[in-house]
A and B are shown apart, each in its own frame.
Chain A
């Protein structure tokens, strides 16, 4: 395998949310790239060369660079996080690409994820969905004993499968309807599977689904491209569970009575 490769690189440049944006050809800055570099390191190299050529570097999101923070996320040739399954952009290596391969690099595309600049999008809609979910009732004070609440191993494992969601937004980017169903389903399912999540279960499910709607994400149309794009391989089974939880909650939920509390 060649130690370095040359790429035909097209990058989406956009000055701000209201700028229409366009692709720029940066092939001249994408030569002699080490196959051991990660995709973000590749963009770092391109940026250094852009700066030396007195051009604006490409803006992209990144943080931990070890695949767990959910900050990075770029669409490479139409695939969120690039062609490798179950891999975030930062963990994608340049050896995945052939010498001379053409790359079209774009931001997540969704009305609810406006572009801030270049490849960086505003994902605060996700934060508001989480916020809408609210708190879980938990005893304050010293940390409880590890096994104080009995949880079957199977349920703990299932909840963990959902909790691996890093909130990167690849599901929205992959979805033809820009639906955040997989993200929302993972977050709702994670708590709804565990005993700690039962007290506010219906309220949380209803509130998070409502916020998803208000943010302007589309509805799921069962294409399952989200599952294919998810770097954490979260299953669309969670969407089915969320649907079941929402339908049940909508039919049975009664709001808490609003009464003045005591002096406490």
Chain B
């Protein structure tokens, strides 16, 4: 049973989690920039179209970035499933009474408890989001390639679609908040002097992303932005 040889980094829970944290950070950065870019919908049809065209004018960079994001997403998800499966095997029995032993803020408590739930839901949401606004293959939702503004407005005029985006983005907020705080712990970048700052920074970035992503479908569904 006892062996003194070290394991390769990726065979340890700590190593796997470090990779989950780093890939998560890449995706975090993308989500932040993506949300800020999308705010241009409020500048009107032409502004958001110009934004799309400027991104598409560098096809190599665009597809390179997409490839990096896809690899990060797949790694993030695969390693998390692996870690969760090991955890499940390590703790097979639950206690008769479940006690709230950790005193944490309600937001943090809820965020960490829903991590297992928000992950898979977000994965489904990302696939729907890509099918809806990138590929344009969702049946029943009209799509015209390049017409970002129309596609967005028509999609969110459907209250079901807008509702889905709002719920998914609130969950994304919780996921980002927990992940944003946790990644400093996972990578060992904590210090009592920085703790409050990292938590505030994670909260602020998460708040900006979530507010943006919720305001866009809400204003469209409420009819404040029209075609």
Binding site for B on A (CB under 8 A): 10, 23, 75, 77-80, 83, 104, 106, 109-112, 128, 131-132, 134, 174-179, 203, 206-207, 209-225, 227-229, 236-237, 239-247, 250-251, 253
Q: Is B60 an interface residue (CB 8 A)?
A: no
Interface string of B68-91 (1 = CB under 8 A from A): 000000000000000100110111
CB distance from A66 to the nearest CB of B (A): 23
Docked-complex contact A178 and B14, CB < 8 angstroms = no
Chain A hits for B102, CB < 8 A:
223-225, 227-228
User: How many A-B pairs with Cβ below 8 Å?
Assistant: 160
- Contact with B94, one of A77, A109, A225, A227 (Cβ below 8 angstroms): A109
User: What are 30 contact pairs spanning A and B, CB under 8 A?
Assistant: A83-B99, A109-B92, A109-B93, A109-B94, A132-B4, A176-B87, A176-B91, A177-B86, A178-B90, A179-B90, A209-B12, A209-B14, A214-B1, A214-B7, A216-B90, A218-B13, A218-B90, A218-B91, A219-B14, A220-B13, A228-B102, A228-B103, A236-B185, A237-B192, A240-B185, A240-B188, A243-B14, A243-B185, A243-B187, A246-B14
Which interface residue of B6, B12, B190 has the most chain A CB atoms within 10 A?
B6
Q: Is B120 an interface residue (CB 8 A)?
A: no
- Contact with A207, one of B4, B97, B186, B190 (Cβ below 8 angstroms): B4
Docked-complex contact A175 and B7, CB < 8 angstroms = no
Chain A hits for B189, CB < 8 A:
240, 244
**A131-B2, A207-B6 known; A218 and B97 CB under 8 Å?**
no
Docked-complex contact A210 and B5, CB < 8 angstroms = yes
Q: Which of B15-23, B32-40, B199-207, B213-221 contacts A (4 or more CB under 8 A)?
A: B15-23
Closest to A251 in B: B9
Closest to B17 in A: A219
Q: Is B52 an interface residue (CB 8 A)?
A: no
The CA-CA distance from A237 to B188 in the complex, in Å, is 9
Docked-complex contact A242 and B188, CB < 8 angstroms = yes
Chain A hits for B182, CB < 8 A:
222
CB distance from A19 to the nearest CB of B (A): 13
Q: Is B101 an interface residue (CB 8 A)?
A: yes
Closest to A177 in B: B87
Binding site for A on B (CB under 8 A): 1-7, 9, 11-18, 83, 86-87, 89-99, 101-104, 112, 115, 178, 181-182, 184-190, 192
The CA-CA distance from A227 to B101 in the complex, in Å, is 9
Chain A hits for B17, CB < 8 A:
219-220, 243
Chain A hits for B14, CB < 8 A:
209, 219-220, 242-243, 246-247
Q: Known pairs A220-B17, A251-B9; list 7 more (Cβ under 8 Å).
A: A109-B94, A112-B90, A134-B4, A176-B87, A218-B13, A220-B14, A222-B185
**A207-B4, A228-B103 known; A219 and B16 CB under 8 Å?**
yes
CB distance from B197 to the nearest CB of A (A): 15
Docked-complex contact B99 and A79, CB < 8 angstroms = yes
* 9 closest residue pairs by CB, A with B: A244-B188, A219-B13, A206-B6, A177-B87, A78-B99, A218-B90, A218-B87, A178-B91, A243-B188
Closest to A236 in B: B185
Chain B hits for A203, CB < 8 A:
6
Chain A hits for B181, CB < 8 A:
222
Docked-complex contact A246 and B186, CB < 8 angstroms = no
Docked-complex contact B90 and A110, CB < 8 angstroms = yes
Chain A hits for B185, CB < 8 A:
222, 236, 239-240, 243
The CA-CA distance from A93 to B184 in the complex, in Å, is 38
Chain B hits for A223, CB < 8 A:
102, 112
Docked-complex contact A218 and B93, CB < 8 angstroms = no
Closest to B184 in A: A240
The CA-CA distance from A246 to B185 in the complex, in Å, is 13
CB distance from B23 to the nearest CB of A (A): 15
CB distance from A243 to the nearest CB of B (A): 4
Chain A hits for B101, CB < 8 A:
78-80, 174, 225, 228-229
Docked-complex contact B187 and A244, CB < 8 angstroms = yes
Chain B hits for A210, CB < 8 A:
3, 5-7, 12
Closest to B113 in A: A223
CB distance from A237 to the nearest CB of B (A): 6
Closest to B11 in A: A213
